[in-house]
Structure 1
């Protein structure tokens, strides 16, 4: 049975989004995690990525799982949170975060990212992890 036009368009948009994240990551190995949220359900998966170019022939099942979580934002609604962790010299890590709705990525500022990861539901400080720096996520050119 042939794929629907909407599914083909969504697959192309998901691929473009992943390519844009790889470009934003830059050279090196990074940790990419995606959390998909819908109607109280939460699905999460992570993979290592090599920036700045996405390997179109990757057989990495973790990357495929991450891609499918992003695709759900177009097919099932809901939201995904994309977190890119980049290791730096001296054990430091830079964190950049995007919210994704319908395969459109909305970058978070450093402050928004810090609040998302380090402030608990009652407003208490829960971090940051030692050596973690929160940076503004760039706008992704998709």
Structure 2
């Protein structure tokens, strides 16, 4: 009887354990992992199907599972730095636990893997963008004239501008895109504001941090950039408008400039078909946007 009770209690405790699966989303990464003899799979499609079946099984048992992006290059570096033999399941498990604490993850909520994978890749890009922008801001250093930290001052300025943009927007949910031209790539950040009241704004704090950091980098480096926002209200035509980043300020774009910006693919530069029922217009007045940092270095 005691053994049965202990077995039952252990089974109950398993439901209290959260797990993480390191997922090889890319077929090339999958082929790299096949170089390890202890890696049992030889077909990427079959591998993804088995992962999805496992996720469904764990969810049916009441377990909470997150999915992390497994990068073979990072895995090899992790094993080398940690003194681990990479060709063992236990090393892959330890690396996955490391990813759960430090890397991008997406919770499994029953969605198909075909929907989860793009979200996971987007999360990885978001984190990489934020880390890159943060590093560049930190490297700028202090103002040679007054000694102020330029990165910090630019971040404060960016946060103030973002607050003005959100506060002056019309009713409805907001979708904001900020792009800043930096060498060698253009950095892009997205912020969604799902719900707003007179007293509070509901948004993803991680998205807001990344968005503000990218905007701050544009301010600090005086890079070309812009901000485009789409407002959505039930039973009303969506509105799209935006601003050009000029130094430390946001200058309003004309309706035609907004149309061109919104209907051009940021990465390829190709034209994108405009949506019907969308009003491309000029933005509202941001009012007093305050003093800039005045750093010209």
TM-score exceeds 0.5: yes
Secondary structure in 2 aligned to 1:15?
Answer: helix
Q: Spell out the pairing of 1:39-54 with structure 2 (5 A cutoff).
A: 39-49=183-193, 50-51=195-196
2:280 pairs, out of 129, 134, 137, with 134
CA positional deviation for 1:133? 1.1
Q: Relative to 1, partners in 2 of residues 1:138 and 1:97: Cα closer, same or farther, differing over 3 Å?
A: same
Question: Which one has a larger percent helix, Structure 1 or Structure 2?
Answer: 2
Could you tell me which runs of 5 or more consecutive residues in structure 2 were left unpaired when the two chains were aligned: 1-141, 290-297
Q: Counterparts of 1:49-64 in structure 2 under 5 Å? A: 49=193, 50-51=195-196, 60-64=205-209
1:29 paired residue number: 173
Unaligned runs of 5+ in 1: none
Q: Deviations over 1:104-135 (max 9, x none)?
A: 10101112211333479xxx974321222101
After the TM superposition, which residues 1-142 of structure 1 pair with which residues of structure 2 at under 5 Å, given as runs?
A: 5=148, 6-49=150-193, 50-51=195-196, 60-90=205-235, 92-118=237-263, 126-141=272-287, 142=289
How many residues are matched? 136
Q: Distance in 2 between matches of 1:53 and 1:102?
A: 31
Select the structure of larger CA radius of gyration: 2
TM-score, normalised via structure 2 length = 0.40
C-alpha distance in 2, partners of 1:111/1:53?
Answer: 32
